[in-house]
A and B are shown apart, each in its own frame.
Chain A
Amino acid sequence: MITAERKPIQEIMNLVSPYKNLLLVGCNECVTVCSAGGRKEVALLSSALQVAFMKSGRIVHIQEMTLERQCDPEYIEQLVPHIDSVDAVLSLACGCGVQEIARRFKEKMVFPGVNTKFMGASERPGVWAERCQGCGDCLLGVTGGICPIARCSKRLQNGPCGGSSKGKCEIGPDVDCAWQLIWDRLKALGLQERYETLLPAKNWRNGRGGGPRKIVREDLM
């Protein structure tokens, strides 16, 4: 999922302070799963903002809505009946959702209520960790299902480096060395010989190095 974290309340207040009527929009997908921008977080932020504004002597009216997805135009259309009655939109979706709202409603200011972080997985309740960087050329079949691009601090394709110690990365004792994980996994699978295969230099143009990316499927158009 795409993970996100709510921005500090003060930062959100600074963003929306000129407005009296706000539409606070959550998203039912990734940000719901990572408890950053679902229905519950919308209600919580709405309460917190209203309390904060009332404390400073202002009443701000906040309409709450949570869309099935904010990254699809057909769901954004559900905002049409509400958009005229508000001064600005505060979105708790990832950056994709915020931009979709901005694209659809050109005359309304849209603010992000979360910082979009990374593509990750839930390790345990309340903990999410980065697992994929969308490099556009997946290596997981070679590295035993552990991504050196997302999980090695240096994105080494032929690791580990000298900073690997007792299975941990030199950047912090809580960070696993991805190449130690890869070695352990290959060993468990009896595929140690794969470790000897050198991976050639990666073509980073498949990732962000090639500029903004697009997928075009003519069969679905």
Chain B
Amino acid sequence: MEDFEPVIVAFCCHYCAYTAADMAGSLRLCYPPNVKIIRVPCSGKVDTIHLMQAIKGGADGVYVAGCLEGDCHFKSGNAKAARRVVYAKRLLNDVGIEPERIEMIMMSAGMGERFAATAEEFTAKIRGMGPNPVKLMRATAIRDPHNVSPAHKESAAV
């Protein structure tokens, strides 16, 4: 557990958080390499299914980083994303996974420092929570494939 390094998936809006990540780079700010960025044209493009698939695929934490309230390039994509994050949290709660593994974060394109700080804080929080229980089950299925059908092995290996 002590050497646990979480895998974090960050869906970053092209117009704010992704640019903020660039800004963090330009400012030579360090943030944990655990954060895997997926650039999206707007945080409103992120659907609940993407968040759930990330958790199912073994991500320990997922966050959606969109524009500040009222600043969405497409008017209301960030508000929609925030509502989907709430829905995904409820789903996670229903299936017995900590809802805090999914979060919505808002920032502007100029907030390079905030991007780096957020990545640091979120990674620390997930590190404290421990691995996604789904990931452990996947690993077990790969190590001990008895009674696991070929289709299961395949899905566990993905």
Contact = CB atoms under 8 A, between A and B. Distances in A.
A45 B68 CA distance: 31
Given A52-B95, A61-B152, A61-B155, A47 B52 contact: yes
Contact of A55 (B47, B96, B149, B156): B96
B48 interface: yes
B156 A51 contact: no
B148 interface: yes
Interface of A: 8-10, 20-21, 40, 43-44, 47-52, 54-57, 59, 61
Contacts, number: 59
Given A51-B97, A61-B152, A44 B48 contact: yes
Interface in B85-138: 91-92, 94-97, 133-134, 137-138
Interface of B: 47-49, 52-53, 55-56, 91-92, 94-97, 133-134, 137-138, 141, 148-149, 151-152, 155-156
Task: Tell me what chain A mostly uses at the interface: helix, strand, loop, or mixed.
Answer: helix
Contacts of B53: 43, 47
A51 B149 contact: no
A4 B91 CA distance: 18
Closest A-B pairs by Cβ, 8 of them? A52-B95, A47-B52, A54-B137, A9-B94, A54-B134, A47-B56, A59-B152, A55-B133
Given A9-B91, A9-B94, A48-B94, A54 B52 contact: no
A40 B48 CA distance: 9
